[in-house]
Structure 1
């Protein structure tokens, strides 16, 4: 199975709530992929199982591969993982970064508004 087929399989597993199996599938994908979607999706799936530190690594890798690919959303996920890992200062920096970003499709202002909300709660 190629990376794209495995990615579809992992997303299907997640949609059925089979997060641990999806994580194993994502681990297989990222061994042979440099697609930021795969790393970002892996990071989000890890969060669903409470694996915050691993999530940070996956999300940072995804963001570094293609910084403008769903950047606002990816950074919000990263901030959540940082915050849950006890790295409040780094989470705040991510929220600040997102709050200053330009609006873009598909989420428009929603990511900036979420970042501002999180800053108001935690800064």
Structure 2
């Protein structure tokens, strides 16, 4: 550790270095499998998720690149693209959540309500 650097900054830089290493590991893993091979194993909703995550990751890295070159990324058109991708990711999440939600068995619910209203004779 550099003695001139405050410990707090060193901690942030270490965490950043670890995050960059994790991203690099994920990229190596993703690049080891062909895109077509990966997508063929997924259903259309999962394919959309992979495409959106990839686009979001690429745009986020571009955002960081702009910031490191002194450009304010909040004023760059890339910010609109990130927002568009985020909206699409939320749409896919809503669809996924709807598919996971419990399905109502109308006939069973109807029987339950009728028995509750009429009372059961025993």
**TM-score (ref. length: structure 2):** 0.31
Asked which structure has the greater CA Rg, the reply is 2
Q: Relative CO higher for 1 or 2, CA cutoff 8 Å, sep ≥ 6? A: 2
Task: Give the structure-1-normalised TM-score.
Answer: 0.31
